[in-house]
A = this chain, B = another copy of it.
Amino acid sequence: MKELAQQLKEKNLKVTPQRLAIFQMLTNTDEHPSAEAIYKALESIHPTMSLATVYKTLDALKKANLIQELNVGEDCFRYDARTHSHPHLICISCTKVVDMESIYLDDIRKRIEQDTNFDIVNEKIYFYGVCPDCKEKKED
């Protein structure tokens, strides 16, 4: 995997400690954290970093297509370092968000383009349900 700093440079983004920390955190987690969660997670390492910087950085990374913004229906956005389009599964019990690799997305796109005559360029797909862990707990 390409160095994170290198990826920033290629997008003409200056490499600052704050940016690296945020980008790195997002690439190393699968928890789809919110801006607030990122801010708190990095608090101990970057005590002077402000929430505004987190938002500005996320905006820069988003525009550079290095991360994507998720809107799972909560009161805030979540962020995902996987930029290729893929559906997300949200557990309505524990609110965790899980990535889904979709093999059938291309098929669906094509069918929709045929049916509607839209040129599809992107999609946001969220499935809501109960995750295996929470199902188990309820059975107890």
Interface residues, chain A, CB within 8 Å of chain B? 71, 73, 87, 89, 91-92, 98, 100, 104, 108-109, 111-113, 115-132, 135
| Cβ contacts under 8 Å, A104 to chain B | 108, 111
For A126, list chain B residues within 8 Å (CB). Answer: 123-125
Q: Are A123 and B128 in contact (CB under 8 A)?
A: yes
Indicate if the CB atoms of B116 and A100 lie closer than 8 Å. Answer: yes
Q: Are B119 and A73 in contact (CB under 8 A)?
A: no
A124 near B92 (CB under 8 angstroms)?
no
Complexed CA–CA distance, A87 and B112 (Å): 10
Cβ of B119 and Cβ of A130 under 8 Å apart? yes
A-B contact pairs, 15 of them (CB 8 A): A89-B112, A98-B116, A100-B115, A112-B127, A116-B132, A117-B135, A118-B129, A119-B129, A119-B130, A121-B129, A122-B128, A122-B129, A123-B125, A124-B126, A125-B126
Give the complex CA separation of A58 and B92 in angstroms: 22
Measured between alpha carbons, how far is A113 from B71 in the docked complex, in Å?
Answer: 22
Q: With A71-B71, A112-B89 in contact, do A128 and B135 touch (Cβ < 8 Å)?
A: no
In the complex, residue of chain B having the shortest beta-carbon distance to the beta carbon of A122: B128
| Whole-angstrom CA separation of A120 from B132 in the bound complex | 11
Per the bound structure, the CA–CA distance linking A91 and B116 in Å amounts to: 12
